Amino acid sequence: MISKGHSKLSIVKQCNLLNIHRSGLYYKSNGERELNLELMQLIDKHYTKYPFKGARRMHTWLTMDKDYKVSRNRIERLYYKVMGLRAIMPGRHTTKRNRAHKIYPYLLRNLKVHKPNQVWAIDITYIPMQKGFMYLVAIIDLHSRYVLNWSVSNTMDAQWCKETLEEAITIHGKPEIVNTDQGSQFTAEVFTSLVLSNGIKLSMDGKGRAIDNVFIERLWRSVKYESIYLNPPNSGIDLYKQLNTYFYFYNNQRRHQGINNQIPFKRYLEKHQNAA
């Protein structure tokens, strides 16, 4: 159905014509042992509920409360390297970054976010499947809580994050600030150059600061508890369809207490039109 070597149509265009998402083409069950997949699902649910727990406390919970006979090294590898997690509290460990990459200052401290496209936040989360797992990246407008764009992938890489942000800019215009964590995907030149070349300010969460990425953390909690945990997807295409349905509901129907029970899309659109 899809020709990867087509002389005239790229894979993206072929997928658009067939009304399928390219993530389904790249989905392969990740090569982790069954026990590791089981542990990762437990870690994900526990972390989503208690994001202040790091790998050490997660290991304590798994071994003492859940009776798993596993080493701390195994849990640290799954927690940091495979799942890309960090505890949102002061401590030694944060999202793993490349120390050769430049880190940008946090610009949101004491900033009043009062309009759409003033500040966008982007982040990545682990998504458990029935067999295996994938990653989800999403971009949220902090003023309206509107999810501007999202994508799923087998791997966490800077090019994927860059393309997702690039699509959001094409659709919605440029924000004044993009806020990220200090993960290597967001400190890589392929990502930072896109932000800076568009005249956008780049802001990065401080190490171990619990409040810097609170809005996107709430989004992950909503996605998982209101969709993924209730019906774990079986394939990349199933995941895409499920998330597409959920984000439509989240943006267009779900009322949010944090914005006075308004609907994100209406808040984004009304304020955006007034600003124009």
Provide the CATH number for the domain around residue 230.
3.30.420.10
Residue 95 lies in a domain: no
Q: Are residues 227 and 158 in the same domain?
A: yes
71 and 125 co-located in one domain: no
Task: Assess whether 128 and 203 both reside in one domain.
Answer: yes
User: What residues make up the domain containing 47?
Assistant: 34-82
User: Which of 22, 57, 82 is at the close of a domain?
Assistant: 82
Residues 66 and 192 in one domain: no
Residues 193-209, mean pLDDT to the nearest whole number? 86
**Tens of pLDDT, residues 66-115:** 999 999 999 999 999 999 988 875 444 334 555 566 899 999 988 999 99
- How many domains does the chain fold into? 2
Residue 108's Cα: distance from chain center in Å? 19
Q: Report if residue 16 sits inside a domain.
A: no
Let me know whether 167 and 257 are in one domain.
yes
Same domain, 53 and 137: no
Query: In this model, does residue 13 exceed pLDDT 70?
Result: no
Question: Same domain for 236 and 190?
Answer: yes
Asked whether residue 125 falls in the same domain as residue 224, the answer is yes
Is the same domain home to 239 and 144? yes
Q: Does 165 fall in a domain?
A: yes
CA angle 183, 187, 188 (to 5 degrees): 115
Q: Characterize 52-87 residue by residue with b for buried, 16 or more Cβ atoms within 10 angstroms of its Cβ, and e for exposed.
A: ebbbbebbebbeeeeebeeeeebbbebbbebbbbbb
pTM as predicted: 0.84
CA distance 24 to 236: 4
Is 162 in the same domain as 67?
no
48 domain residue, yes or no: yes
Q: Is 244 inside any structural domain?
A: yes
Q: What is the Cα–Cα distance from 40 to 25, expressed in whole angstroms?
A: 24
In a domain, 213, yes or no: yes
Q: Does residue 229 sit within a domain?
A: yes
Per-residue pLDDT band for 270 (boundaries 50, 70, 90) equals: confident
Q: Is residue 174 part of a domain?
A: yes
| Shared-domain flag, residues 156 and 208 | yes
Q: Is there a contact between 166 and 194 (Cβ–Cβ < 8 Å)?
A: yes
Of the candidate ranges 19-23, 45-49, 53-57, 58-62, the one whose mean pLDDT is the lowest = 19-23
The answer on 138 and 68 residing in a single domain is: no
